[in-house]
Structure 1
Amino acid sequence: MSIVQVWDSIEEFGGAVDDLQSAVAAGWAVDEDRGQTLLKAANDLYDRLDGHLQRADFLTQELPLGTTPAAQVYKPYLATIATDPHQGLIVALKELQRKTADIRTSIEKSMAAYDAAEQNSRQGINKANRA
């Protein structure tokens, strides 16, 4: 997978995050069990990305490609693929991790909305039973 494909995938993921945030703002709610399942998936992804980012320093090193003229050209270039501050792999992984954190927040808000709706429904039923 090329870095361009990685960035395209992250942009698609970001669109899904935006859609989820819009749905939550519009009142989408999820119950505790399903919410916990979604949170587990988001937490797993976040943790995996964190692990990769903690080990990403090796990506900044030049590869031992030898001393040929072509190797001298490629060695610094290959390291910049990971470290470019605007479109490198490390920046891409950090952006994906940030979007994953946004998903967790949206899921938690959605679970809270579900709980609030459940409590309101219970109160309505209790009032109706007392009347």
Structure 2
Amino acid sequence: MTSPDAGSGTLGMGGFLRSAADMRTAAAAGRFAADPESGRALVAVLARRRTWAVRQFNTMYRLAQEPPLGSSPGANVFKPFFASIANHPNEGISPQWEKFIQVIDETIRAVNESMKNYHDIDVEQAGRLNSTSGYSHET
């Protein structure tokens, strides 16, 4: 199975990585903000997902072993094929799973960055509203 993202891998992790990086770039530029309560909740969920993903990754070595399919001619053809699916350098399950963990890490960094922006953006927006309405906003 090939992803609709050309050249990005079986599971389309290239697209996910780009999205996470774009999210972090937007946060770093102050174009994306999350309130602290929501941001902390999202980071907590992402951290739990990352813990799960790392546990799964640590057991994937078993997928690289040839399965015990027997010794028939058909089994002898399929055994090395199944093992190669896990470890193919570009399309394998293990490399794609590593990219998935990278996506989670990048997204956590983006959310943390966006929480830093929340107060600044809130004050800026209040200033814009005040300038158009004639009211003042004390920070």
Tell me if TM exceeds 0.5: yes
Aligned with residue 30 of structure 1, among 14, 31, 34: 34
User: 1:90: how far off?
Assistant: 0.4
* 1:83/1:8 CA distance change after superposition, 3 Å: closer
TM-score, normalising length from structure 1?
0.79
C-alpha distance in 2, partners of 1:98/1:15? 11
User: 1:103: how far off?
Assistant: 0.7
Task: Determine the structure 1 residue equivalent to 2:87.
Answer: 83
Task: Determine the structure 1 residue equivalent to 2:71.
Answer: 67
Residue deviations 1:55-96 (CA, integer Å, cap 9, x gap): 112111111111111110110110010012222100000011
TM-score, normalising length from structure 2?
0.75
**Which amino acid counterpart does residue 101 of structure 1 have in structure 2?**
D
Residue deviations 1:86-128 (CA, integer Å, cap 9, x gap): 221000000110121011111111111224556898xx825xx
C-alpha distance in 2, partners of 1:103/1:7? 21
How many residue pairs match? The answer is 122
1:112 aligns with 2:125: no
Structure 2 gap segments, 5+ residues each: 4-8, 127-136
Contact residue 17 and residue 99 of structure 2 kept, 8 A: no
Aligned with residue 57 of structure 2, among 53, 59, 63: 53
Task: Determine the structure 1 residue equivalent to 2:6.
Answer: none
Identity %: 24
C-alpha distance in 2, partners of 1:125/1:119? 9
